[in-house]
Amino acid sequence: LLPGALSDRGQQMTLGVMGGGQLGRMFVQAAQAMGYFTAVLDPDPASPAGLISHFHIQTAYDDEQGLAQLMQRCDAITTEFENVPAPALVTLGAHRPVAPSAPCVAVAQDRIKEKAHFLACAPVSGVYPAPYAAIESDELLAAVPADLLPGILKTARMGYDGKGQMRVSTREELASAWEQLGRVPCVLEKMLPLQSECSVIVARGTNGQVVSFPVQANTHRDGILATTEVYEGAVPADLAERAQASTVAIANHLHYVGVLCVEYFVVDNGTGGQDLVVNEMAPRPHNSGHYTQNACDMSQFEAQVRTLAGLPLPQPRQHSPAIMVNLLGDLWFEPNATHAERSERAVTPPWTQVLALPGTHLHLYGKLSARPGRKMGHLNITAPTVAQVRETAAQVLQLLG
Ligand code: ADP
Ligand code: MG
């Protein structure tokens, strides 16, 4: 599907995306930069991607007419979030190239299937998930091994940014947490003493070729990604190599096509060294890969376009040390404002001072209202040296409070 060519329907070559959030928006931007027309399916009339796309189909993700319109418009279709109903992708995939495929998305959107996949890959990847048990019935709940406590109970589906998770220390707490989560299928994971967290993004083409981006060191706050640092030494070289190899194995084993992100924990291995634990995967570009927009010669979104359109996929190269800082809705309010004051006391963050610093790249998602914890944008910071990028990031964080 060459950019700028007419499709066999005599229309401009058009790439579609299920979901209109910020990831869809940045996919649309990358596709448009290469000359593609774009179509977004998202029910929200003000969705960040819908606002800037050539076509915006405003229906539910499983609406037959909406899906038919999307297929009529598009030469190939991708997704920007894992909770797109897998049957919708099956429908689309029967008529158009869809990447990632419905079966891959189905694995990523269910923690029980996802962990089983990680276990299946472990003999090749050498990296295991945290000890866990699936909880789908009273019998399974009663059979949970005691050494999984204290643990974290996570809903099998629909969790993100720490939502749908409860920490539990005793069997009683576990039982009541499962009640509170509505007795939906869950996994109980052993709570691990994390030393740090990292993630890896790979892109895999229809021909099975895989390229990987550098390993990303992530810091979370309140269950939400706060910063990502990517430069030599941000993750110890031996762990970085293992994480990359494991991610490639996970993608290959699924015959994955598209951009895939896998998250890892770094833990103490009990003998003074460090070990990797695989946490979860996202069948799409990932917040921790946003630095690629300004620090690499191919962004994760361009990689998504290339894999979807069947374009060449050379190995991306990082040209600058980078730190990504997430911009949450909290920044739009005075620090000590009460909830009631928030609507009146909205402020604009200090962009003038931030953008005066060298190597700061502002990305805002065009969301029409700010809420605490809502992802409004991110800043990519680049510099010629690690020391400089860290220095600029420290200044940015001070300005943002
Ligand atoms: P989400 O879908 O919300 O990103 P995650 O499973 O990645 O869910 O969990 C969110 C965060 O919670 C992780 O990034 C990590 O900081 C923490 N966490 C998750 N599982 C564990 C665990 N087994 N032990 C310790 N911390 C965990
Ligand atoms: Mg996560």
Q: What is the pLDDT of residue 160?
A: 77
Pick from 157, 194, 262 the residue to mutate for probing ligand 1's pocket: most ligand atoms within 8 Å of its CB: 194
Residue 220 assigned ligand-binding role: yes
Q: What is the pLDDT of residue 82?
A: 79
**Tokens encoding 322:** 């980078």
Coil, helix or strand for 336?
A: coil
Coil, helix or strand for 286?
A: coil
- C-beta of 330 in contact with ligand 1 (< 6 A): no
Coil, helix or strand for 43?
A: coil
What class, spelled out in words, does domain 14-98 have in CATH? alpha beta
Coil, helix or strand for 217?
A: strand
In 3D space, the residue among 360, 351, 395 whose CA is nearest the CA of residue 381 turns out to be 360
Ligand 1 atom nearest residue 190's Cα: 23
Indicate the CATH number for domain 194-400: 3.30.470.20
Reported ipTM: 0.97
**Tokens encoding 234:** 């941000």
Distance 17 CA to ligand 1 centre (A): 27
DSSP string over 119-168: HHHHHHH--EEPSEEEE-SHHHHHT--GGG-SEEEEESSS--TTTTEEEE
Q: What is the pLDDT of residue 340?
A: 65
Burial 75-90 (b: 16+ CB within 10 A, else e): bbbbbbbbbbbbebbe
Q: What is the pLDDT of residue 339?
A: 67
Whether 107 contacts 117, CB under 8 Å: yes
Q: What is the pLDDT of residue 93?
A: 96
Residue 164 assigned ligand-binding role: yes
Ligand 1 atom nearest residue 191's Cα: 24
Domain residue extents for the chain: 14-98, 131-190, 194-400
Q: What is the mean pLDDT of each run of 10 residues along the chain (401 residues)?
A: 88 96 98 98 98 98 97 97 89 96 95 97 94 96 95 92 89 96 96 96 97 98 95 96 97 98 95 94 98 98 98 98 97 76 74 98 95 95 98 97 88
Distance 101 CA to ligand 2 centre (A): 21
CATH architecture assignment, domain 131-190:
2-Layer Sandwich (3.30)
